[in-house]
Amino acid sequence: MLHAGDKIGLICCSDGKKLEERPQIEKLIQLLKNEFNLETVLAPTIYQENETIFSGTPKKRAEALMSLYKDQSVKMIFDLSGGDSANGILTFLDYEQIKLSNKAFVGYSDLTVVLNAIFTKTHSIGYNYQLLHLLKSDLQKNFFKRFFMSYPLSDALTYKWITEPKSIETVVIGGNIRCLLKLAGTSYWPIVSDITLLLEARGGEIEQISCYLDQLEQTGLLQSCTAVLLGQFTMIEKNNQETALITLVQSFAKKHGFSIIKTEQIGHSTESIPFPIGQLIKFY
Looking at this protein, which amino acid is placed at residue 280?
A: L
| CA angle centred on 119, ends 171 and 41, rounded to 5° | 120
The residues, ordered by sequence, that sit 6+ positions from 192 with a Cβ below 8 Å of its Cβ are 171, 173, 221, 224
The confidence score (pLDDT) of residue 253 equals 99
Superfamily the domain 154-283 falls into: LD-carboxypeptidase A C-terminal domain-like (3.50.30.60)
Model pLDDT, residue 154:
53
- pTM for this prediction: 0.97
E strand residue ranges, 82-194:
104-107, 126-128, 160-161, 168-176
Q: Is the pLDDT of residue 153 over 70?
A: no
What are the tens digits of pLDDT across the range 49-104? 999 999 999 999 999 999 999 999 999 999 999 999 999 999 999 999 999 999 99
CATH 3.50.30.60 residue ranges of the chain are 154-283
Determine the average pLDDT of the residues in 126-139: 96
pLDDT given for residue 155 in this prediction: 63
* Helix or strand holding residue 219 (H, E): helix 206-219
259-262 β-sheet, strand order: 160-161, 259-262, 225-233, 195-201, 168-176, 280-283
CATH 3.40.50.10740 domain residues, the chain: 7-151
Rounded to an integer, the average pLDDT of 119-133 is: 98
pLDDT band at residue 152 using 50, 70 and 90 as cut-offs: low
Find out whether 191 and 275 touch, Cβ atoms under 8 Å: no
DSSP 271-282: TPPPEEESSEEE
As its CATH architecture, domain 7-151 has 3-Layer(aba) Sandwich (3.40)
